[in-house]
Amino acid sequence: MAHTGVLRPGFIQLRVLDMLAAVEHYSKRIGLHQVSEEADGRVYLKSADEFDHHSFVLRRADTAGFDLMAFKVRTDADLDAFEQRIVAYGYPVDHVPAGEQPGIGRRIGWTLASGHRIELFAHAEQSDPKPSAHNPDVWITEPHGMRARRFDHALLYGPEIEKNLEFFETVLDFRCAERLDMPDGVLAIWLTAGMKAHDIAFVKYPEPGKFHHASFELENWNDVGHAADIIARYDISIDIGPTRHGITRGQTIYFFDPSGNRNEVFTGGYTYYPDHPTRTWDHEQVGKAIFYYEREMNEAFLSVVT
């Protein structure tokens, strides 16, 4: 397998208004497990189907939204190589020491043209619960809630996403699996470091650093239906779905956490190989691109962010 450099999304850190409500939402409803709560108040969570220490970080604040997203790279040497390339591209890089987050090695970080902080790290301790690696059962810890299998990707909103596209392709070796073009330029890009249809995506938006959603992968369409039952049973604020995206083909629900940060649970999506062409959508099919069954964007898609 030729998968080198950036492997996958490692974790995302979000701001929440009410930590108790947030922890209940992500643990009981989404189905994550709390790994730890640290002295500064941040809470670290993971799916039982993930090996690494955590994939989701909550920080109490008086605003909701996005703090940072970190990708895991294959080796420690990758960190140094990427730092050189990022600096050569023109972005200042800072260093976060090992242990700033529990179980995570040293990180490098910088800010994109869209205003988002991105980080890379190479080392993570594993934590329980985690999958078995010997004669492995399908799960060791029984799935609960929406049965999220992993933090999968995020969609971020900000200006100058053409620069993000160039940066991710030329500096981090991502590929653009899919894009949405308007007459006046690109509106949105879906970027992948591997064979998923997306690991991170951006939509053009005037305000920098905004957050559209963090997405959790489910096993199948039946689990998407089960997630919809949970959303109704616990009166979780719904945005749209269950439905399907034309882009990525993912079957999806959008809803909100107790601080108004949008979540997605989804399943499916095509496999991307690096020799595949970038799939493109034009403005006349924008509705189908975003919500394949409704064939129109809901008003919230381009306006409701944290």
Task: Mark residues 287-306: x for contact with other proteins by CB under 8 A, - for none.
Answer: ------------xx--xxxx
- Which one is catalytic: 25, 33, 54, 245? 245
Ranges within 262-291 binding other proteins (CB under 8 A): 262
| Burial (CB count <10 Å: 0-12, 13-18, 19+), residue 111 | middle
Identify the residue among 237, 278, 280, 285 touching other proteins (CB under 8 A).
237
* Catalytic residue list contains 245: yes
Provide, rounded to whole angstroms, the least separation between the CB of residue 140 and other proteins: 8
As a whole number of angstroms, the distance between CA 234 and CA 248 comes to 29
- Identify whether 258 is preceded by a cis peptide bond (ω within 30 of 0): no
Identify the residue among 184, 233, 271, 277 touching other proteins (CB under 8 A).
233
User: Which amino acid, residue 79?
Assistant: L
Regarding 100 and contact with other proteins (CB under 8 A), the answer is no
| Burial (CB count <10 Å: 0-12, 13-18, 19+), residue 87 | middle
Regarding 38 and contact with other proteins (CB under 8 A), the answer is no
Q: Which range in 86-94, 99-107, 165-173, 251-259 contacts other proteins by CB under 8 A?
A: 251-259
Closest C-alpha among 227, 243, 242 to residue 289: 243
Identify the residue among 132, 141, 220, 280 touching other proteins (CB under 8 A).
141
* Catalytic residue list contains 264: yes
Identify the residue among 5, 65, 102, 287 touching other proteins (CB under 8 A).
65
- For the record, the structure tokens of 234 come out as 């616990």
Is residue 45 within 8 A of residue 58, CB to CB? The reply is yes
Per-residue burial over 64-79, b = 16 or more CB atoms within 10 Å of its CB, e = otherwise? bbbbbbbbbbeeeebb
* Catalytic residue list contains 270: no
* Catalytic residue list contains 198: yes
- 98 or 182, CB closer to other proteins? 182
* Catalytic residue list contains 153: yes
Regarding 111 and contact with other proteins (CB under 8 A), the answer is no
Q: What is the 3-state secondary structure (H, E, C) of 12-64?
A: EEEEECCHHHHHHHHHHHCCCEEEEECCCCCEEEECCCCCECCCEEEEECCCC
Regarding 218 and contact with other proteins (CB under 8 A), the answer is no
| Burial (CB count <10 Å: 0-12, 13-18, 19+), residue 212 | buried
State the catalytic residues: 153, 198, 213, 245, 254, 264
Where do contacts with other proteins occur on this chain (CB under 8 A)?
17-21, 23-25, 27-29, 31, 33-34, 37, 43, 62-65, 128-129, 140-142, 144-145, 159, 206-207, 233-237, 239, 256-262, 299-300, 303-306
